[in-house]
Structure 1
Amino acid sequence: MSSTSASASAAAAADAPERRRRSERIAAQGVTLRGGRSRLAPLVTSVLPPLIGLALLVLAWQILASRNSAFPTPQATWDEALRLFADPFYRKGPNDQGIGWNILASLKRVGIGFGMAAAVGIPLGFLAGRFKFVAGMCDPIVSLLKPVSPLAWLPIGLLVFKAADPAAIWSIFICSIWPMIINTAEGVRRVPQDYLNVARVLKLSEWKVLTRILLPAVLPHVLTGVRLAIGTAWLVIVAAEMLTGGVGIGFWVWDEWNNLNVPHILIAIGVIGVVGLALELLLVTLAKSFAYEEVEA
């Protein structure tokens, strides 16, 4: 190699670190270079698709409303929603209450039924996953009753409890318990056998095996079952309230249909979706906080 070529190569190598630092400074300002990526790209890819999807939904809604005079436009529905939520907690009688009270009544029923299902389903799932005898007892019952529609249990609740409110809570309980049992039992079965072997060598009691080994390892599976159950419970309460009446978002939808108030029905659909999404995001965040990953050495 000639001395000229060697000098050029040495100069290029010395200049390379400075070029990299200059490229990093430019990229930090949001400018994309060849082979680089703007800092705004992740934001665009995460925000733009949902906005486009919502825009297409509103466009389809507007086209439908323009072809059917009985269907309210997005603007008319939005104006009615502003008026409705200006005073969501008014009371003018037992059958004339603000939408806020109806949402709270539904959430209360969901909370009671869901809490009862968790108190029964999670411990039962631990037992089914830990002991084959208990699993042999539970598996045929779960397989037989899980496919049954939750609303099919509503008449049983009305027959037993003689009241609409406990019957709705019973429907939530019976639909929420299956995901908790299944996911908890599956999580216990997935615990590595080495963990249990160590517990056997150390002669740990069953209580310590549960609290020190099984519970930390199974918690992500438990929260997955809880997340699936809460979504199903929120779906069921709306349908159950349509049939049982009283105060609740489901009954409110049915009452507005009887009054042919279509904007209120569309608003209720939006509210049901937002509340369900909020519950889902809350439990997803909780599940992520308890998730763990194996760290490679």
Structure 2
Amino acid sequence: MSAVMNNVLNTPVEPVSESPPMKADTKEHAKARPSVTAAKPAARKLSFKPFFLAVLPPIFGLALLVLVWEIVAAKNSGFPSPMVTLQEAIHVFSDPFYQKGPNDQGIGWNLLLSLQRVATGFGLAAAIGIPLGFMIGRFKFLAGMFNPIVSLLKPVSPLAWLPIGLLVFKAANPAAIWAIFICSIWPMIINTAVGVQRVPQDYMNVAKVLNLSEWKIVTKILFPSVLPYMLTGVRLAIGTAWLVIVAAEMLTGGVGIGFWVWDEWNNLNVPHIIIAIVVIGVVGLLLEQALVALAKAFTYEEVRS
């Protein structure tokens, strides 16, 4: 027995080594796994692609617009070139708030007064149109009563209401505000009513089971669900209001960006007309983007599992 144990203890033990198949598998996995250092340069190259896609198309679009403008100016001697208009714009915006009389004021004062009219008419339309849209969408009787009125008056051009405003208010400023009001109220009423009507019936059934008051139904159920529709109506209304105020001021006169355009046309100052067009477009774009940001801030998306 002791001889056997001595033979076992004296037998040398070879170290355990990895089998060749295991080494082959490890190499294959290493080849299949992409290296981190090799992926970094590719990621850096791809990171600039969204930036170029966001920046280059608008630049090319503006460059194309300026090119067409330059061609038109070269073909027509009475049409100002982009460089002439730029020089006039620098002169106009060097003192935008000058005052030399009731009808001779800088573009800044005209723009501020137009925005004030839009804010007044738009605010009145929101104060009346949004609650009315809630009531039309909530109660079938009111929907049946107001739907024919909305369908009849909505297609009417806002400028067609301007003589009615002049007849009733006897002044140009409230008539322009009236035109803004009447063109802004329809999108708010329609979109708000549609949003209320599309609230899931299950929500209303839960409200009945819980015996919620009408105020809690409006604030806790209807308002959060209708908010995206309501903000869409607000966006459509502000765009229409800004379009209408220019035309209304051209007809009523006084001070405003629309009157400024018409006055410059009477003076045959075409560069100032182009400057006013650009200003009107920029202000409309800023109003639109502000409301888009507001809609995104208050709109939620359902999380899908």
TM-score between the two structures when normalised by the length of structure 1: 0.94
1:1-297 paired onto structure 2 within 5 Å = 7-17=23-33, 19-28=34-43, 30-31=44-45, 38-297=46-305
Q: What letter corresponds to residue 146 of structure 2 in structure 1?
A: C
Question: How big is the shift at 1:24?
Answer: 3.2
% same residue: 71
**Residue 6 of structure 1: how far off its partner (Å):** 6.4
Rounded to whole Å, the distance in 1 between the matches of 2:93 and 2:21 is 77
Structure 1 distance, partners of 2:47, 2:158, is 48
RMSD: 1.3
How many angstroms does 1:23 deviate by?
Answer: 3.2
- 1:206 partner letter: E
In the comparison of the two structures, how many residue pairs are matched?
Answer: 287
CA deviation vs aligned residue, 1:74-116 (integer Å, no higher than 9, x gap): 0100110011001100111111100000000000000000000
Task: Return closer, same or farther for 1:13/1:60 CA change in 2, 3 Å cut-off.
Answer: same
Unmatched tracts of structure 2, length 5 or more: 1-18
CA distance in 2, matches of 1:175, 1:49: 34
For 1:4 and 1:249, the matched residues in 2 are separated by 84
Provide the C-alpha distance between the structure 1 equivalents of 2:153 and 2:42, rounded to a whole number of angstroms: 58
Q: TM-score under structure 2 normalisation?
A: 0.92
Cα displacement (A) at 1:15: 4.6
CA distance in 1, matches of 2:38, 2:229: 45
CA distance in 1, matches of 2:54, 2:25: 43
Write out per-residue CA displacement over residues 195-225 of structure 1, whole angstroms, 9 at most, x where no aligned residue: 1110000000001000010001111111100
CA offsets 1:128-182 (integer angstroms, 9 cap, x no match) = 1111111111110111000000000000000000000000000000000000000
Distance in 2 between residues matched to 1:104 and 1:268, nearest whole Å: 13
